[in-house]
Amino acid sequence: MGFRLEYRTSAMEMEQFRRTYQDRERFLACCRECPRYETRWSCPPLSFDVDDFLTTYAWVNLLCARIFLDDETIRAADTAEKMQTTGWEIVSRVKLDLEDRLRALEARVPGSLSLSSGGCHRCGRCAREEGRPCRQPEKMRYSLDAFGFDLTAITQDLFQIEILWCREHLPEYFTLIHGLLAAAPVPEEIWEAAGLGRGGKRGVTDGAFPENKRGGRRLTPA
Ligand code: SF4
């Protein structure tokens, strides 16, 4: 099982970002259909005033990670079950890595807070299901989806990437969007220092991947 990563970054003022991409009613209706709804502290319904929370930050910095699967991995996942298992393992691994890197980035950008992609699955069973507080509040980050943002439009408009889905086989790539809420756009050198490369519309980097400078870091399961 192998894949390589490509990072792109972008940023937008919060006010414009919300005006362009937030539709809470529409997207929270989708969240209600999800099994993670009300069962993860990272997911809706959020336990605070979303408007107050978001207006604390003037800018939304975005990180788009594209996970390219190698041919062998796509070929080997030749049943629906294998596709699900392989896709989950790869995406989970990259997602946790991005969460760690973005939490480290928070320390370099005072007053910032990172957002993750999808629901939190750090614990086998989320404490929310038992009516208890989050077990790892220092690590858990809310999902961008939880705020009612249109991730498909964000991915297309800001990164010119089409989201692909599993059909008869695994897709050529998966896409994850994470965020960093902050007072200002994150300078490129800060992204670089976090191992998250440079990009946005300016291009793609492989700077985060010392093992393979041309093709990106190749990850295989431990
Ligand atoms: S860290 Fe654990 S308790 Fe907290 S949201 Fe994630 S799964 Fe739930």
CB contact set of 182 (below 8 Å; sequence gap of 6+): 57, 58, 59, 61, 109, 111, 112, 113
- Buried/exposed 163-177: b ≥16 CB within 10 Å, e otherwise: eeeeeeebbebbbbb
**Nearest residue CA, atom 1 of ligand 1?**
136
Q: Decide if 102 contacts 141 (C-beta within 8 A).
A: yes
With a 6 Å cutoff on the Cβ, whether 31 touches ligand 1 is no
- In the chain, the number of structural domains is 1
With a 6 Å cutoff on the Cβ, whether 120 touches ligand 1 is yes
Q: Please state the pTM of the whole predicted model.
A: 0.86
User: pLDDT for 162-216, tens place per residue?
Assistant: 999 888 899 999 999 999 999 999 998 999 888 887 543 322 333 333 232 223 3
Domain extent for 44: 3-219
Atom of ligand 1 nearest to the CA of 121: 7
With a 6 Å cutoff on the Cβ, whether 128 touches ligand 1 is yes
Mean pLDDT estimate for the chain: 87
User: pLDDT for 41-76, tens place per residue?
Assistant: 999 999 899 999 999 999 999 999 999 999 999 999
Mean predicted confidence (pLDDT) in 83-95: 94
DSSP run (H or E) holding 181:
strand 173-182
Choose the residue to mutate in 40, 121, 138 for probing ligand 1, maximizing ligand atoms within 8 Å of C-beta. Answer: 40
With a 6 Å cutoff on the Cβ, whether 135 touches ligand 1 is yes
Q: Of 62, 24, 60, nearest to 45 (Cα)?
A: 24
